[in-house]
Structure 1
């Protein structure tokens, strides 16, 4: 399913008005605090401004709340964790736009595990504070450039090397060890996992934040021929073993595993920046869901 569109307002007129500058909106009578936009209108705006075609079979649906609900503020994040929900409440923001699931499985099936006590408590908090959660995954990756990969490249200082639609980018030569340290520092990650010769020189990078799956990760190495593959997460018995064997066979193939949440967070941070000027009457705040792991 994809988000329903509120046809009570002529879509073309509404979007045309919203896409004007703040000054133009003032002329139209839209002043901050004078007009409440609904969740549906915000979703409508995102698709229009992003030049996004509606996706028929997408997970990007409302997970809680209602499309007609007026928006008091927006939080962007990776995972809508309890901490993120509490921050939304603190900011008096009732609309969370999250890249990943709220309920621990891809389709946010609330019956995925029966009698899930954690899920019940989370839903109670969401219902009490009337929080709307919209998953923004497929549409986020459909933006040009892909908000996630571009957000990561930008935060790593690789904007000049990034090319929309390409997995690989070429950076000045750096050792695998130095590259891992650079990613930790620039992306604010406490620990990363690495396979390969730490002294090997890396210039060609395959950048795959998030969870692409073993088949696509291995295929990227075979077709893109990178010096190093950078991923969010992986199946250890698939991609990690492939990279290990490649090195044992004499190939110089590095692997850096960042962690799923922290690897895509820069994308939702960038999305918040993309969205703010398009909604001058609504406060848009990015709240990081952070790394769930404590490293010992």
Structure 2
């Protein structure tokens, strides 16, 4: 990502300067979800927090740090398009919105933008966090294909995912002890059958590593394949767990692009617990 916008002193840096930097060279779809949800473009930035999900906790951290710009991958208001008409009288929504407004926080959604970087900024962040750059074989808009060293098993890959992403669990369909040579890595909600099943056929992958997807599609395909004697497996990492590293990478890049303002990545705890 090349920055051709002059970095200003922190007292002059405005929200619109950062948005222009993020969108440079990017063509967004007409129905993009990326927008400035709260705040104004001319707002002078006192600090930037980058996160995957702009939760109550993340907003509190931004306030504590004196940051008034939050750049988030997902919507703060529990639906993909950030609609709020259906939440008008909901106390949880109202409390969260009041927090943002009273603190004077500008919240910018960076979803479609980062997925349109070359390479995809979210997938690239996950691959870098896992230390799998040397395993990269092929990149497309939806997936990275990685080739593991001989003798690698699904169980080995699962352990690496847990350790390097700092998570307590992943979910596996198929036999965790099978050897896997080629794997397809798909972040977020790309784990559905229309994406994964052609990869297993066309790219001869043994393993699908995905954020999440419909449980009646790819997992059931894997179950049938295994019952038919085919060595295939699936690891579901979690939506946030697969995409947060990409936002962390974005925070690192913004800190370089705008050194006069403090930029930090705020990580949330996993939304689910296994008991």
The answer as to 2:254 corresponding to 1:261 is: no
Which residue of structure 1 lines up, in the alignment, with residue 208 of structure 2? 229
CA displacement 1:192-213 (0-9 Å, x = unmatched): 1111112101121100011125
Q: Secondary structure at the match of 2:184?
A: strand
Which residue of structure 2 lines up, in the alignment, with residue 6 of structure 1? none
Which residue of structure 1 lines up, in the alignment, with residue 221 of structure 2? 242
CA displacement 1:100-148 (0-9 Å, x = unmatched): 1111101011124553221111101111101111111111011122111
The match for 1:121 among 82, 92, 95 is: 95
User: Is the contact made by 1:65 and 1:131 (CA closer than 8 Å) also made in structure 2?
Assistant: yes
* Separation in structure 2 between the aligned mates of residue 58 and residue 197 of structure 1, nearest angstrom: 39
Residues 1-296 of structure 1: matches in 2 within 5 Å?
16=4, 18=6, 30=8, 32-33=9-10, 35-48=11-24, 51-113=25-87, 115-162=89-136, 163-165=138-140, 167-173=144-150, 174-212=152-190, 214=192, 215-296=194-275
C-alpha spacing 1:266/1:17, structure 2 compared with 1 (3 Å): closer
User: Is the contact made by 1:36 and 1:72 (CA closer than 8 Å) also made in structure 2?
Assistant: no
* Separation in structure 1 between the aligned mates of residue 21 and residue 90 of structure 2, nearest angstrom: 35
* Separation in structure 2 between the aligned mates of residue 210 and residue 280 of structure 1, nearest angstrom: 30
- Deviation at residue 191 of structure 1 after TM alignment: 0.7
- Number of aligned residue pairs: 268
User: Is the contact made by 2:73 and 2:110 (CA closer than 8 Å) also made in structure 1?
Assistant: yes
User: Is the contact made by 2:13 and 2:44 (CA closer than 8 Å) also made in structure 1?
Assistant: yes
CA displacement 1:211-256 (0-9 Å, x = unmatched): 1252223333333221110111121122211111111111111110
- Deviation at residue 164 of structure 1 after TM alignment: 4.1
User: Is the contact made by 1:146 and 1:164 (CA closer than 8 Å) also made in structure 2?
Assistant: no
User: Is the contact made by 2:14 and 2:43 (CA closer than 8 Å) also made in structure 1?
Assistant: yes
**Is there any run of 5+ residues in structure 1 with no aligned partner, and where?**
1-14, 19-24
**Is there any run of 5+ residues in structure 2 with no aligned partner, and where?**
none
User: Is the contact made by 1:262 and 1:290 (CA closer than 8 Å) also made in structure 2?
Assistant: no
* Separation in structure 2 between the aligned mates of residue 16 and residue 253 of structure 1, nearest angstrom: 46
Q: Secondary structure at the match of 1:237?
A: coil
User: Is the contact made by 2:183 and 2:207 (CA closer than 8 Å) also made in structure 1?
Assistant: yes
CA displacement 1:255-295 (0-9 Å, x = unmatched): 10111111111100111111211111111100012311111
Pairwise CA RMSD: 1.7
C-alpha spacing 1:259/1:16, structure 2 compared with 1 (3 Å): closer
Instruction: Tell me the TM-score normalised to structure 2 length.
Output: 0.92
- Deviation at residue 54 of structure 1 after TM alignment: 4.4
Q: Secondary structure at the match of 1:282?
A: coil
* Separation in structure 2 between the aligned mates of residue 71 and residue 264 of structure 1, nearest angstrom: 25
* Separation in structure 1 between the aligned mates of residue 36 and residue 93 of structure 2, nearest angstrom: 16
- Deviation at residue 83 of structure 1 after TM alignment: 0.6
